[in-house]
Amino acid sequence: MKFIDRVKIYVQAGTGGNGTVAFRREAHVPKGGPSGGDGGRGGSVIFVATNSLSTLLDLRYYREYKAQNGEKGHAKKMHGADADDLVIRVPVGTCVYDDDTGNIIADLTKDGQRAVIAKGGRGGRGNARFASSRNPAPKICENGEPGEKFNLRVELKLLADVGLVGFPSVGKSTLLSVVSKARPQIADYHFTTIVPNLGVVQVKDGRSFVMADLPGLIEGASQGKGLGHQFLRHIERCRVIVHIIDMSGSEGRDPYEDYVTINKELGEYEYRLLERPQIIVANKMDGDEAEENLKKFKEKLGDQKVFPIIAPIHEGIDAVLYAVADALETAPDFFNQEEEQESVLYTYKEEEKPFTIHNKGNGVWEVTGKKVERLVQMASFTTDDGFQRFALQIRNMGIDDALREAGCEDGDTVRLYDFEFEFYN
Protein backbone atom coordinates (compact mmCIF):
# COMPACT_ATOMS: atom_id res chain seq x y z
CA MET A 1 0.00 0.00 0.00
CA LYS A 2 1.34 3.41 -0.97
CA PHE A 3 2.32 5.65 1.96
CA ILE A 4 0.77 9.13 1.74
CA ASP A 5 1.35 11.48 4.68
CA ARG A 6 0.22 14.88 3.35
CA VAL A 7 -2.84 15.88 1.30
CA LYS A 8 -4.99 18.93 0.61
CA ILE A 9 -8.78 18.60 0.51
CA TYR A 10 -11.92 20.74 0.57
CA VAL A 11 -14.69 20.08 3.10
CA GLN A 12 -18.14 21.66 3.30
CA ALA A 13 -20.74 21.03 5.96
CA GLY A 14 -24.41 20.86 5.07
CA THR A 15 -26.75 23.86 5.08
CA GLY A 16 -29.65 23.79 7.49
CA GLY A 17 -33.14 23.27 6.12
CA ASN A 18 -35.38 26.29 5.56
CA GLY A 19 -38.15 27.16 7.95
CA THR A 20 -41.74 27.22 6.65
CA VAL A 21 -44.60 29.74 6.73
CA ALA A 22 -47.84 27.85 7.30
CA PHE A 23 -51.11 28.26 9.21
CA ARG A 24 -53.28 25.71 10.86
CA ARG A 25 -56.44 25.17 8.84
CA GLU A 26 -58.85 22.60 10.20
CA ALA A 27 -62.61 22.32 10.36
CA HIS A 28 -64.08 23.78 13.54
CA VAL A 29 -60.73 25.39 14.49
CA PRO A 30 -61.10 29.08 13.62
CA LYS A 31 -57.91 31.15 13.62
CA GLY A 32 -55.68 28.13 14.15
CA GLY A 33 -52.58 30.29 14.08
CA PRO A 34 -49.07 29.82 12.65
CA SER A 35 -47.88 26.23 12.29
CA GLY A 36 -44.72 26.44 10.16
CA GLY A 37 -42.00 24.07 11.40
CA ASP A 38 -38.23 24.51 11.67
CA GLY A 39 -35.73 23.14 9.19
CA GLY A 40 -33.40 20.29 10.06
CA ARG A 41 -29.71 20.66 10.94
CA GLY A 42 -27.15 20.27 8.17
CA GLY A 43 -24.64 17.46 8.41
CA SER A 44 -21.21 18.16 9.92
CA VAL A 45 -17.87 16.89 8.58
CA ILE A 46 -16.23 14.81 11.31
CA PHE A 47 -12.77 13.22 11.34
CA VAL A 48 -12.34 10.01 13.35
CA ALA A 49 -8.90 8.57 14.15
CA THR A 50 -8.39 4.83 13.81
CA ASN A 51 -5.48 2.44 14.22
CA SER A 52 -6.73 0.41 11.25
CA LEU A 53 -5.31 2.98 8.81
CA SER A 54 -1.66 3.91 8.35
CA THR A 55 -1.78 6.31 5.40
CA LEU A 56 -3.84 9.19 3.98
CA LEU A 57 -4.17 7.39 0.66
CA ASP A 58 -7.99 7.60 0.57
CA LEU A 59 -7.94 11.39 0.95
CA ARG A 60 -5.57 11.76 -1.97
CA TYR A 61 -8.07 10.45 -4.51
CA TYR A 62 -11.21 12.12 -3.13
CA ARG A 63 -10.46 15.82 -2.73
CA GLU A 64 -13.95 17.21 -2.00
CA TYR A 65 -16.16 16.18 0.91
CA LYS A 66 -19.63 17.69 1.25
CA ALA A 67 -22.14 16.76 3.93
CA GLN A 68 -25.87 16.66 3.18
CA ASN A 69 -28.26 19.56 3.79
CA GLY A 70 -31.04 19.47 6.37
CA GLU A 71 -34.64 18.97 5.32
CA LYS A 72 -36.98 21.97 5.23
CA GLY A 73 -39.69 22.38 7.86
CA HIS A 74 -43.30 21.33 7.29
CA ALA A 75 -46.76 22.47 8.28
CA LYS A 76 -48.32 21.42 11.60
CA LYS A 77 -45.07 22.50 13.32
CA MET A 78 -43.25 19.46 11.96
CA HIS A 79 -39.46 19.72 12.22
CA GLY A 80 -37.43 18.88 9.12
CA ALA A 81 -35.12 15.87 9.36
CA ASP A 82 -31.53 16.46 10.43
CA ALA A 83 -28.92 15.41 7.89
CA ASP A 84 -26.44 12.64 8.65
CA ASP A 85 -22.91 13.71 9.52
CA LEU A 86 -20.15 12.91 7.04
CA VAL A 87 -17.55 10.82 8.90
CA ILE A 88 -14.03 10.59 7.49
CA ARG A 89 -11.68 7.98 8.96
CA VAL A 90 -7.99 8.94 9.23
CA PRO A 91 -4.92 7.33 10.84
CA VAL A 92 -4.02 8.06 14.45
CA GLY A 93 -1.49 10.90 14.43
CA THR A 94 -3.33 13.02 11.85
CA CYS A 95 -3.15 16.81 12.11
CA VAL A 96 -5.70 18.98 10.32
CA TYR A 97 -4.86 22.58 9.34
CA ASP A 98 -6.83 25.40 7.74
CA ASP A 99 -4.81 25.72 4.54
CA ASP A 100 -5.83 29.36 4.03
CA THR A 101 -4.66 30.59 7.45
CA GLY A 102 -2.22 27.89 8.57
CA ASN A 103 -4.05 27.48 11.90
CA ILE A 104 -4.45 24.01 13.39
CA ILE A 105 -8.03 22.77 13.55
CA ALA A 106 -7.59 19.35 15.12
CA ASP A 107 -4.91 16.89 16.20
CA LEU A 108 -6.02 13.28 16.51
CA THR A 109 -3.66 11.21 18.66
CA LYS A 110 -5.89 8.45 20.07
CA ASP A 111 -7.85 5.61 18.52
CA GLY A 112 -11.51 6.57 18.25
CA GLN A 113 -10.92 10.27 18.82
CA ARG A 114 -13.38 12.50 16.94
CA ALA A 115 -13.10 16.10 15.79
CA VAL A 116 -15.80 18.26 14.21
CA ILE A 117 -13.90 19.89 11.36
CA ALA A 118 -16.79 21.75 9.69
CA LYS A 119 -20.00 22.28 11.63
CA GLY A 120 -23.33 21.90 9.88
CA GLY A 121 -25.67 24.89 9.78
CA ARG A 122 -28.72 25.00 12.03
CA GLY A 123 -32.16 24.81 10.51
CA GLY A 124 -34.12 28.00 9.87
CA ARG A 125 -37.05 28.74 12.17
CA GLY A 126 -40.61 28.46 10.94
CA ASN A 127 -43.25 31.15 11.49
CA ALA A 128 -44.64 29.33 14.54
CA ARG A 129 -41.46 30.41 16.38
CA PHE A 130 -42.09 34.10 15.72
CA ALA A 131 -45.62 34.35 17.12
CA SER A 132 -46.02 36.95 19.88
CA SER A 133 -48.74 39.01 21.54
CA ARG A 134 -47.97 41.87 19.18
CA ASN A 135 -47.90 39.69 16.06
CA PRO A 136 -49.95 36.52 16.64
CA ALA A 137 -49.94 35.55 12.94
CA PRO A 138 -46.44 36.28 11.61
CA LYS A 139 -45.46 35.55 8.03
CA ILE A 140 -41.79 35.31 8.93
CA CYS A 141 -39.42 32.39 8.56
CA GLU A 142 -35.67 31.84 8.23
CA ASN A 143 -33.59 30.08 5.65
CA GLY A 144 -31.17 27.48 6.90
CA GLU A 145 -27.74 28.54 8.15
CA PRO A 146 -24.91 27.73 5.71
CA GLY A 147 -22.48 25.06 6.85
CA GLU A 148 -18.82 25.81 7.45
CA LYS A 149 -16.36 25.16 4.65
CA PHE A 150 -12.58 24.94 4.65
CA ASN A 151 -9.62 24.24 2.44
CA LEU A 152 -7.68 21.78 4.57
CA ARG A 153 -4.09 20.58 4.76
CA VAL A 154 -4.06 17.14 6.35
CA GLU A 155 -0.75 15.75 7.63
CA LEU A 156 0.13 12.44 9.22
CA LYS A 157 2.78 12.48 11.93
CA LEU A 158 3.83 9.02 13.07
CA LEU A 159 3.24 8.14 16.71
CA ALA A 160 6.48 6.31 17.47
CA ASP A 161 8.34 6.20 20.79
CA VAL A 162 11.77 6.01 19.15
CA GLY A 163 13.08 7.55 15.94
CA LEU A 164 16.16 6.35 14.04
CA VAL A 165 18.13 9.22 12.51
CA GLY A 166 21.34 9.45 10.53
CA PHE A 167 22.77 9.97 7.08
CA PRO A 168 21.55 7.77 4.21
CA SER A 169 22.92 4.21 4.15
CA VAL A 170 24.15 4.13 7.76
CA GLY A 171 22.04 1.05 8.59
CA LYS A 172 18.78 2.40 10.03
CA SER A 173 16.57 0.03 8.03
CA THR A 174 18.84 -2.88 8.81
CA LEU A 175 18.63 -2.19 12.55
CA LEU A 176 14.84 -1.98 12.44
CA SER A 177 14.61 -5.24 10.49
CA VAL A 178 16.68 -7.17 13.05
CA VAL A 179 14.93 -5.83 16.19
CA SER A 180 11.34 -6.07 14.92
CA LYS A 181 9.17 -7.84 12.36
CA ALA A 182 9.19 -4.79 10.10
CA ARG A 183 10.57 -5.41 6.62
CA PRO A 184 11.78 -2.08 5.22
CA GLN A 185 13.49 -1.97 1.84
CA ILE A 186 17.24 -2.46 2.21
CA ALA A 187 19.72 -1.85 -0.60
CA ASP A 188 23.22 -0.55 -1.20
CA TYR A 189 22.30 2.95 -2.39
CA HIS A 190 21.22 6.24 -0.87
CA PHE A 191 17.61 7.00 0.08
CA THR A 192 16.52 3.38 -0.07
CA THR A 193 13.96 4.41 2.54
CA ILE A 194 11.78 7.17 1.15
CA VAL A 195 8.84 6.70 3.53
CA PRO A 196 8.87 5.99 7.29
CA ASN A 197 8.60 2.41 8.52
CA LEU A 198 7.26 1.36 11.92
CA GLY A 199 8.12 -1.69 13.97
CA VAL A 200 7.26 -2.94 17.46
CA VAL A 201 10.42 -3.82 19.37
CA GLN A 202 10.35 -6.37 22.20
CA VAL A 203 13.21 -6.17 24.72
CA LYS A 204 14.31 -9.43 26.36
CA ASP A 205 13.16 -8.21 29.81
CA GLY A 206 9.58 -7.83 28.52
CA ARG A 207 9.50 -4.11 27.81
CA SER A 208 8.41 -2.97 24.36
CA PHE A 209 8.19 0.19 22.29
CA VAL A 210 7.45 1.41 18.77
CA MET A 211 10.45 2.33 16.63
CA ALA A 212 10.38 4.35 13.40
CA ASP A 213 12.94 3.97 10.65
CA LEU A 214 12.91 7.45 9.14
CA PRO A 215 14.31 8.58 5.77
CA GLY A 216 17.95 9.62 5.81
CA LEU A 217 18.95 13.17 6.56
CA ILE A 218 21.42 15.29 4.65
CA GLU A 219 22.89 18.69 5.36
CA GLY A 220 20.21 21.35 4.88
CA ALA A 221 17.31 19.05 5.69
CA SER A 222 15.82 21.57 8.14
CA GLN A 223 15.46 23.95 5.16
CA GLY A 224 13.77 21.24 3.11
CA LYS A 225 16.72 19.75 1.22
CA GLY A 226 16.65 16.06 0.41
CA LEU A 227 13.57 14.60 2.07
CA GLY A 228 13.70 17.59 4.43
CA HIS A 229 10.45 18.30 6.24
CA GLN A 230 8.96 15.04 4.97
CA PHE A 231 11.33 13.37 7.43
CA LEU A 232 11.40 15.86 10.26
CA ARG A 233 7.60 15.98 10.55
CA HIS A 234 7.58 12.33 11.66
CA ILE A 235 10.17 12.72 14.41
CA GLU A 236 8.28 15.52 16.20
CA ARG A 237 6.53 13.09 18.56
CA CYS A 238 9.36 10.63 19.18
CA ARG A 239 10.42 10.66 22.83
CA VAL A 240 13.88 9.14 22.27
CA ILE A 241 16.21 9.54 19.28
CA VAL A 242 18.62 6.81 18.22
CA HIS A 243 21.43 8.45 16.24
CA ILE A 244 23.11 5.88 13.99
CA ILE A 245 26.57 6.60 12.61
CA ASP A 246 28.57 4.72 10.00
CA MET A 247 31.74 4.22 12.02
CA SER A 248 33.52 2.43 9.16
CA GLY A 249 33.58 5.62 7.06
CA SER A 250 32.57 3.56 4.04
CA GLU A 251 31.01 6.61 2.35
CA GLY A 252 34.21 8.62 2.68
CA ARG A 253 32.78 10.86 5.42
CA ASP A 254 34.18 11.52 8.89
CA PRO A 255 31.91 9.90 11.55
CA TYR A 256 32.20 12.83 13.97
CA GLU A 257 31.36 15.35 11.24
CA ASP A 258 28.31 13.23 10.40
CA TYR A 259 27.27 13.37 14.05
CA VAL A 260 27.68 17.15 14.25
CA THR A 261 25.91 17.74 10.91
CA ILE A 262 22.83 15.69 11.81
CA ASN A 263 22.52 17.30 15.25
CA LYS A 264 22.79 20.71 13.63
CA GLU A 265 19.82 19.89 11.40
CA LEU A 266 17.84 18.57 14.37
CA GLY A 267 18.61 21.72 16.34
CA GLU A 268 17.48 24.03 13.54
CA TYR A 269 14.10 22.36 13.28
CA GLU A 270 11.32 24.00 15.27
CA TYR A 271 10.43 21.25 17.75
CA ARG A 272 13.37 21.19 20.21
CA LEU A 273 14.60 17.83 18.98
CA LEU A 274 17.98 18.11 20.68
CA GLU A 275 16.31 18.26 24.11
CA ARG A 276 15.23 14.63 23.77
CA PRO A 277 17.33 11.71 25.06
CA GLN A 278 19.68 10.58 22.31
CA ILE A 279 21.26 7.13 22.07
CA ILE A 280 24.41 7.14 19.91
CA VAL A 281 24.95 3.92 17.96
CA ALA A 282 28.18 3.19 16.07
CA ASN A 283 27.20 0.83 13.27
CA LYS A 284 29.28 -1.15 10.76
CA MET A 285 31.95 -1.99 13.34
CA ASP A 286 33.14 -4.81 11.08
CA GLY A 287 34.77 -2.25 8.77
CA ASP A 288 38.55 -2.07 8.45
CA GLU A 289 38.90 1.38 10.03
CA ALA A 290 35.93 1.19 12.39
CA GLU A 291 37.87 0.62 15.62
CA GLU A 292 40.26 3.48 14.94
CA ASN A 293 37.39 5.78 13.93
CA LEU A 294 35.47 4.87 17.09
CA LYS A 295 38.47 5.72 19.26
CA LYS A 296 38.81 9.17 17.61
CA PHE A 297 35.06 9.69 17.80
CA LYS A 298 34.95 9.06 21.55
CA GLU A 299 37.87 11.43 22.13
CA LYS A 300 35.96 14.26 20.40
CA LEU A 301 32.59 13.36 21.88
CA GLY A 302 33.56 13.36 25.55
CA ASP A 303 31.74 11.41 28.27
CA GLN A 304 28.60 10.49 26.30
CA LYS A 305 28.20 6.73 25.88
CA VAL A 306 28.48 5.15 22.44
CA PHE A 307 27.04 1.70 21.59
CA PRO A 308 29.08 -0.18 18.95
CA ILE A 309 27.07 -2.69 16.90
CA ILE A 310 27.19 -4.87 13.81
CA ALA A 311 23.48 -4.86 12.91
CA PRO A 312 23.31 -7.75 10.36
CA ILE A 313 24.72 -10.29 12.86
CA HIS A 314 22.90 -8.76 15.89
CA GLU A 315 26.18 -7.96 17.70
CA GLY A 316 25.65 -5.30 20.41
CA ILE A 317 21.91 -5.00 19.69
CA ASP A 318 20.70 -6.01 23.17
CA ALA A 319 22.68 -3.25 24.90
CA VAL A 320 21.12 -0.65 22.59
CA LEU A 321 17.58 -1.90 23.24
CA TYR A 322 18.07 -1.89 27.01
CA ALA A 323 19.42 1.67 26.84
CA VAL A 324 16.47 2.82 24.74
CA ALA A 325 13.93 1.18 27.07
CA ASP A 326 15.61 2.79 30.10
CA ALA A 327 15.55 6.21 28.43
CA LEU A 328 11.86 5.87 27.59
CA GLU A 329 10.98 5.30 31.27
CA THR A 330 12.12 8.81 32.19
CA ALA A 331 11.68 10.66 28.89
CA PRO A 332 8.98 13.37 29.06
CA ASP A 333 6.09 13.56 26.62
CA PHE A 334 7.52 16.23 24.33
CA PHE A 335 4.38 16.30 22.23
CA ASN A 336 2.27 17.71 25.08
CA GLN A 337 4.96 20.21 26.06
CA GLU A 338 5.38 21.50 22.54
CA GLU A 339 1.72 21.85 21.66
CA GLU A 340 0.86 23.17 25.16
CA GLN A 341 -2.66 21.93 24.63
CA GLU A 342 -4.64 18.73 24.59
CA SER A 343 -5.37 16.98 21.35
CA VAL A 344 -7.97 19.39 20.13
CA LEU A 345 -11.59 18.61 19.41
CA TYR A 346 -12.81 21.90 18.09
CA THR A 347 -13.37 23.89 14.97
CA TYR A 348 -11.14 26.93 14.61
CA LYS A 349 -13.03 30.19 14.36
CA GLU A 350 -11.33 33.38 13.32
CA GLU A 351 -12.56 36.47 15.16
CA GLU A 352 -13.23 39.45 12.94
CA LYS A 353 -15.21 42.66 12.84
CA PRO A 354 -19.00 42.25 12.48
CA PHE A 355 -18.87 44.13 9.17
CA THR A 356 -16.68 46.33 6.98
CA ILE A 357 -17.88 49.15 4.71
CA HIS A 358 -16.24 49.69 1.31
CA ASN A 359 -16.80 52.77 -0.86
CA LYS A 360 -16.85 51.49 -4.45
CA GLY A 361 -17.36 54.96 -5.92
CA ASN A 362 -20.19 56.42 -8.04
CA GLY A 363 -22.60 56.17 -5.12
CA VAL A 364 -22.06 52.41 -4.59
CA TRP A 365 -21.27 50.99 -1.16
CA GLU A 366 -20.53 47.42 -0.17
CA VAL A 367 -20.89 45.90 3.30
CA THR A 368 -18.93 42.71 3.93
CA GLY A 369 -18.37 40.41 6.88
CA LYS A 370 -19.24 36.87 7.89
CA LYS A 371 -22.08 38.01 10.14
CA VAL A 372 -23.58 40.10 7.36
CA GLU A 373 -23.24 37.25 4.89
CA ARG A 374 -24.92 34.84 7.30
CA LEU A 375 -27.72 37.36 7.95
CA VAL A 376 -28.49 37.75 4.24
CA GLN A 377 -28.30 34.02 3.56
CA MET A 378 -30.74 33.20 6.35
CA ALA A 379 -33.21 36.04 5.60
CA SER A 380 -36.44 35.18 3.79
CA PHE A 381 -37.72 37.93 1.47
CA THR A 382 -40.86 36.09 0.32
CA THR A 383 -43.13 38.20 2.55
CA ASP A 384 -43.30 41.82 3.73
CA ASP A 385 -42.89 40.67 7.32
CA GLY A 386 -39.65 38.91 6.43
CA PHE A 387 -38.28 41.96 4.66
CA GLN A 388 -39.17 44.25 7.59
CA ARG A 389 -37.44 41.89 10.03
CA PHE A 390 -34.31 41.91 7.89
CA ALA A 391 -34.30 45.74 7.79
CA LEU A 392 -34.62 45.82 11.59
CA GLN A 393 -31.70 43.40 12.00
CA ILE A 394 -29.53 45.56 9.75
CA ARG A 395 -30.39 48.64 11.79
CA ASN A 396 -29.74 46.87 15.09
CA MET A 397 -26.29 45.77 13.87
CA GLY A 398 -25.41 49.44 13.41
CA ILE A 399 -24.95 49.24 9.65
CA ASP A 400 -27.28 52.21 8.98
CA ASP A 401 -25.35 54.49 11.34
CA ALA A 402 -22.01 53.29 10.02
CA LEU A 403 -23.04 54.03 6.43
CA ARG A 404 -24.11 57.57 7.35
CA GLU A 405 -20.78 58.17 9.11
CA ALA A 406 -18.92 56.87 6.06
CA GLY A 407 -20.72 59.41 3.83
CA CYS A 408 -23.50 57.34 2.30
CA GLU A 409 -26.30 59.59 0.98
CA ASP A 410 -29.94 59.14 0.00
CA GLY A 411 -30.28 57.23 -3.26
CA ASP A 412 -26.89 55.55 -3.01
CA THR A 413 -26.75 51.82 -3.72
CA VAL A 414 -25.77 49.47 -0.88
CA ARG A 415 -24.73 45.85 -1.49
CA LEU A 416 -24.88 43.21 1.19
CA TYR A 417 -23.58 39.90 -0.12
CA ASP A 418 -25.91 39.23 -3.11
CA PHE A 419 -28.62 41.61 -1.86
CA GLU A 420 -28.83 45.22 -3.12
CA PHE A 421 -31.00 48.17 -2.04
CA GLU A 422 -31.16 51.97 -2.16
CA PHE A 423 -30.20 53.85 0.97
CA TYR A 424 -32.55 56.41 2.55
CA ASN A 425 -32.31 58.18 5.89
Does 130 belong to an annotated binding site? no
Rounded Cα distance between 336 and 54, Å, is 22
User: Is 177 marked as a binding-site residue?
Assistant: no
To which H or E segment does residue 343 belong?
none
166 is in an annotated binding site: yes
Is 312 annotated as a binding-site member? yes
Q: Is 172 annotated as a binding residue?
A: yes
Calpha distance 180→111 (Å, rounded):
23
How long, in residues, is the chain? 425
Binding site annotation covers 19? no
Q: Is 30 annotated as a binding residue?
A: no
DSSP state letters, 232-271: HHHHTT-SEEEEEEETT-TTS--HHHHHHHHHHHHHHSTT
Measured from the Cβ of residue 423, the count of other Cβ atoms closer than 10 Å reads 16
Q: Is 84 annotated as a binding residue?
A: no
Flag whether 222 is marked binding.
no
Residue 193 annotated in ligand binding: yes
**173 annotated among ligand-binding-site residues:** yes
Buried b (16+ CB within 10 A) or exposed e, 61-72: eeeebbbbbbbb
**Residue 78 labelled as part of a binding site:** no
Task: Find out whether 123 is annotated in a ligand binding site.
Answer: no
For residue 169, say whether it is annotated as part of any ligand binding site: yes
283 is in an annotated binding site: yes
The annotation status of 150 as a binding-site residue, yes or no, is no
Asked whether residue 264 is marked as a ligand-binding residue, the answer is no
Could you give the CA distance from residue 82 to residue 61 in angstroms, rounded to a whole number?
28
Give 275's strand partners.
none
**Closest to 321 measured CA to CA, from 240, 259, 266, 256:** 240
Sign of CA dihedral 388, 389, 390, 392: positive
> Does residue 68 contact residue 42 with C-beta atoms inside 8 Å?
yes
Burial label for 230, CB within 10 Å (0-12, 13-18, 19+), is: middle
Specify whether the CB–CB gap between 69 and 13 falls below 8 A. no
CA distance 63 to 153: 11
Strand ranges (DSSP E) for 297-355? 306-308
| 96 annotated binding-site participant | no
Is 311 assigned a ligand-binding role in the annotation? yes
Does 180 count as an annotated binding residue? no
Contact (CB, 8 A) for 379 and 400 = no
Binding residues: 166-173, 191-195, 213-216, 283-286, 310-312
Q: Which residues are annotated as a binding site for GTP?
A: 166-173, 191-195, 213-216, 283-286, 310-312
Where is the binding site for Mg(2+), in residues? Answer: 173, 193
